[in-house]
Structure 1
Amino acid sequence: MSTLKLGSLLIRTLAKPVATSIKTQAKQHPTFREFCINVAQQSHKLEMTLKMKFLGYKKEVIRPLNDARAIESGANFLSESFVFSVAATIIIAESWRSHSSAKHRRNYVDDALENLESQTVTLKEALEAVQKAHSTTEQQLKQIEEDNAHLRKLLDEILSVSLGLRHHTEYDRQPSVITLPGLSQEN
């Protein structure tokens, strides 16, 4: 950015000697002198016409400038036009550069937002999958805890009965007599 501004300052500085060169060339070359005289006469005519219209004077015949004054005025007009065109070109180029930079930045931000949105959707889907897996795992854990509690009760009862600390609830009842067919109870 600073190199661009430094470059534009350099171009404007170089434009001033070119404008001075235009003035000296207008005095030395006959074809360029005629061109400067024509430019000066036309600009003088336009300037005087506009002044008369804005100031409310009647339209009168406009006297042309003498050659020496026309050469000087035309050379000044051309040199100022050159400096102005260089400055306008620099301003337009800077405006275009900043516009393209802003457009590039907007495109970058839009792409970044689009990427973030797609990542957000992906993360939401992954979160939902993890929540479902977590819910399933919790249900399985509850079932395992219930089974563990039931097995603990059975194990406690088996140990108590095997160590003789208490009687098994099944043995507290009177055993029923089982008769097999063909066998008598008297045998």
Structure 2
Amino acid sequence: MILPVVKLGTLALKTICKPIANRLKKEAGLHPKFRQLIVSIAQANHQFQTQMQRRIYGHATNVKIRPLNEEKAVQAAADLLGELFVFTVAGAAVIFEVQRSSRSEARKEELRIQELQAMKQRDEDLAREIEHLKQKIEDVEHLAKGRGLSGLLHFRNAHTTEDGKEKHS
């Protein structure tokens, strides 16, 4: 019952985070200090991507890369920020699910260990009982050998009195 609820909650969280990411994108361009920060991040990201593309395609990497204009940089950084937010939420949901599953498996394993210990304890108790019964059988056989056949019969009737009535101990 809990698993479908958790999965549904995760899906709802992912769905809710997209409008939040869009709101973050919109707000990112409005605050001056934050705008400068994301513009510098976007420019660094642009430089890195361009150099990687040049290396992949075998072009010269020592060429000066023109920076993005400010509006494109803000838009690129806002998109990056939105995607990073969605990725973070999705990653957190996956981590939560893995931890929940791990805890569930640990509980199951603990129950298996307890059941195994209980079975081992029962086996040990039965083994002790068997040894105790073997000892009693050996004692009876020893008495029977010592007294002969009449000793065995006398042993069986040892619980009755001489007048034939049973003794209650």
Q: TM bucket by the smaller chain?
A: 0.7 to 0.9
8 Å contact from structure 1 (residues 26, 32) kept in 2: yes
For 1:42 and 1:103, locate their aligned partners in 2 and report how far apart those are by CA, in whole Å. 45
When structure 1 is superposed on structure 2, of 108-117 and 42-51 the one drifting more is: 108-117
For 2:143 and 2:71, locate their aligned partners in 1 and report how far apart those are by CA, in whole Å. 107
1:10 pairs with one of 9, 12, 18: 12
TM-score of the aligned structures, taking structure 2 as reference length: 0.77
Match of 1:118 in 2: 121
SS in 1 for 2:29: helix
Match of 2:27 in 1: 25
Q: Give 1:17 deviation, angstroms.
A: 1.0
Q: How does 1:100-115 map to 2 (within 5 A)?
A: 100-115=103-118
Q: CA RMSD in A?
A: 2.7
SS in 1 for 2:68: coil
Higher relative contact order by CA 8 Å / sep ≥ 6: 1 or 2? 2
Match of 1:179 in 2: none
TM-score of the aligned structures, taking structure 1 as reference length: 0.70
- Long gaps (5+) in structure 2: 155-169
Match of 1:55 in 2: 57
Q: Give 1:27 deviation, angstroms.
A: 3.0
Match of 2:70 in 1: 67
**Deviation string, structure 1 residues 10-47 (Cα, Å, up to 9, x no partner):** 21111111101011112322222222212211111111
State the one-letter code of the partner of 1:85.
T
Q: Give 1:135 deviation, angstroms.
A: 4.7
Indicate the percent of aligned positions where both proteins have the same amino acid. Answer: 28
Q: How does 1:77-88 map to 2 (within 5 A)?
A: 77-88=80-91
For 1:120 and 1:45, locate their aligned partners in 2 and report how far apart those are by CA, in whole Å. 71
For 2:48 and 2:111, locate their aligned partners in 1 and report how far apart those are by CA, in whole Å. 50
For 2:41 and 2:17, locate their aligned partners in 1 and report how far apart those are by CA, in whole Å. 20
For 1:38 and 1:82, locate their aligned partners in 2 and report how far apart those are by CA, in whole Å. 19
Larger Rg: 1
- Long gaps (5+) in structure 1: 152-187
For 1:29 and 1:109, locate their aligned partners in 2 and report how far apart those are by CA, in whole Å. 57
SS in 2 for 1:28: coil
Q: Give 1:143 deviation, angstroms.
A: 8.5
